[in-house]
A and B are shown apart, each in its own frame.
Chain A
């Protein structure tokens, strides 16, 4: 097992400063795909069940490597978790979520995969509802294209399905 050392890392110094100035515990999340680091409060980071388990089991030192999640998705996730730990008013949170999820489909899918990987239920629920809303009016062909699903049904099977369920036509 390799060990990573932070030598002469300016972030290390600033981290120490933060630790000294407050009673809050801080964690550094590092996305391994693009090596971006994010310093967050532990109370915010543990909105992710995965990180929470690590912290509770005592396995996490102050830097946690996070695979599979890209830097910009991580940034957005932290923004979401911060707001949800700070704010308790449901109405304000709902408005924030609506504004926050005003993203293009690719960004939304990234967010969904990341929220699922990090096990952040609140975020996953919000994103899945939004994505469901976006795809509910599409045809099965469009769904296959968007989600990159292989078509394993024969032409006859598709035709039979269409006939049986002709009421599901979009128009």
Chain B
């Protein structure tokens, strides 16, 4: 049944949309198509959500099935390991998954922390948070040209620093461990010293196809006295820029904690003295904000929780026995883990979470929070054993038992299983 054009004349008052017959699905779709065409002429499609609009050819089919929706909409939300495995589902899926546009969409849609890298001395390896869903082909990153240390990560890309020989300049590379692609960065004119603090800044855009990133290198400049300077690499121009006006005399590299964060044009570092350093790259200025924590010496982590920049600290306290006496020596005393979350513009205490531990901890200094992958879910290093903690279920689970790779000097870098292409 085909409706002639004049039946959809809007000026006709008698027009009624109340019809119900067996062809109404087809009619419904035809009317949609005509309306779509009219609208396309009169309105500009500027909404980014246009990326997810149901294509008209799908609407016309009327028999949209779950597998079509899965192919069109679900694939971009899957992690790299699952996607590569699903190439074996069918030829159609293989084509769609292999297409560069899907990799681009996925780098924008998939944001879950999938695991983390542990760097101990010159050795590194990958720990996954879900064996079936998240993974990389090569845990030791042996596809890189020489021995690199993992320094920073951002949305599926890793920033690595080559272990330099004496008198050699630092060499950096950016890679995607899932696709094994990498770029070696050109040298900067500045000497960054042996241990600069690095942040990889990469924000996938739904519109721009080219994947551009920046590397922010904080290093000490000795000009009479030590000051913090920032050398910034831009992959678009393939060059480094160091703004000589942008110096921070309040801090030096040693006072910046690892795993700084980049978001919306600003790089954030927590400092060992209990401050937050925020560097606005676009507008070239910085700001210092004290973190309102009473425990300044406790090492915390900077993370994004529910979209808000947060600082998380965790420590253990001995619990009281039910009888009310406190005795650290007996095995009956269970420790309590306290997690404090600071956030907001003033970095105030937002939440305090307590979880009872069902293990006794002998060295309370060895208790550290490493990551907060999602709400009420944390990763801890407790006496060199790595645990995941689900606050709601009050459960601690071992994700990496004691091994040579985990020691007090191990550094950890989070990773998102993205297919972002560096080609």
A interface residues with partner B (beta carbon < 8 Å): 1-4, 32, 50, 53-54, 57-61, 63-65, 67-68, 90-91, 94, 109, 112-113, 116-117, 119, 121, 124-125, 128-129, 131-132, 135-140, 143-144, 147-153, 157-158, 161-162, 165, 167-171
Residues of chain B in range 57-97 having any CB-CB distance to chain A below 8 Å: 62, 64-67, 69-70, 73-74, 77-79, 81-82, 84-94
12 contacting pairs across A/B (C-beta < 8 A): A59-B31, A65-B20, A67-B25, A91-B306, A119-B53, A135-B74, A135-B78, A143-B89, A147-B67, A153-B88, A168-B81, A170-B85
Q: Roughly how many angstroms separate A151 CA and B137 CA in the complex, as a whole number? A: 26
Q: Would B136 and A167 count as touching, CB distance under 8 A?
A: yes
**What's the least CB distance linking A93 to chain B, in Å?**
11
**What's the least CB distance linking A34 to chain B, in Å?**
13
Q: Would A53 and B39 count as touching, CB distance under 8 A?
A: yes
Q: Would B90 and A151 count as touching, CB distance under 8 A?
A: yes
**What's the least CB distance linking B376 to chain A, in Å?**
11
A67's nearest neighbour on chain B, judged by CB, is B25
Q: Would A63 and B86 count as touching, CB distance under 8 A?
A: no
Q: Would B306 and A136 count as touching, CB distance under 8 A?
A: no
Q: Roughly how many angstroms separate A63 CA and B138 CA in the complex, as a whole number? A: 59
Residues of chain B in range 83-134 having any CB-CB distance to chain A below 8 Å: 84-94, 130-133
**What's the least CB distance linking A149 to chain B, in Å?**
5
**What's the least CB distance linking A41 to chain B, in Å?**
19
Q: Roughly how many angstroms separate A113 CA and B74 CA in the complex, as a whole number? A: 12
Q: Roughly how many angstroms separate A123 CA and B19 CA in the complex, as a whole number? A: 28
Contacts of B64 in A (CB 8 A): 113, 116-117
B135's nearest neighbour on chain A, judged by CB, is A167
Known: A65-B24, A137-B132. A113 touches B66 (CB 8 A): yes
Given contacts A136-B79, A136-B82, 7 further A-B contacts (CB under 8 A): A59-B8, A109-B66, A137-B130, A137-B132, A151-B90, A152-B91, A161-B88
**What's the least CB distance linking B415 to chain A, in Å?**
15
> Which of B9-17, B218-226, B321-329 binds A?
B9-17
Q: Using an 8 Å CB-CB cutoff, how does the interface string of B147-174 with A read, 1 for contact, 0 for none?
A: 0000000000000000000000000000
Q: Roughly how many angstroms separate A144 CA and B21 CA in the complex, as a whole number? A: 34
Q: Would B19 and A3 count as touching, CB distance under 8 A?
A: yes
Q: Roughly how many angstroms separate A32 CA and B49 CA in the complex, as a whole number? A: 29
Q: Roughly how many angstroms separate A138 CA and B54 CA in the complex, as a whole number? A: 26
Chain A CB within 8 A of B32 CB:
yes
Q: Would A171 and B85 count as touching, CB distance under 8 A?
A: no
A6's nearest neighbour on chain B, judged by CB, is B18
Contacts of A136 in B (CB 8 A): 78-79, 82, 130, 132-133
Contacts of B21 in A (CB 8 A): 2
Chain A CB within 8 A of B183 CB:
no
Known: A116-B64, A116-B69. A132 touches B78 (CB 8 A): yes
Q: Would B35 and A57 count as touching, CB distance under 8 A?
A: yes
**What's the least CB distance linking B129 to chain A, in Å?**
11
In this complex, which of A54, A129, A132 has the most chain B Cβ atoms within 10 angstroms of its Cβ? A132
Q: Would A144 and B89 count as touching, CB distance under 8 A?
A: yes
**What's the least CB distance linking B355 to chain A, in Å?**
20
**What's the least CB distance linking A7 to chain B, in Å?**
13
Q: Which of A58, A68, A158 contacts B10 (CB 8 A)?
A: A58
Q: Would B35 and A63 count as touching, CB distance under 8 A?
A: no
Chain A CB within 8 A of B191 CB:
no
Q: Which of B15, B84, B89 contacts A168 (CB 8 A)?
A: B84
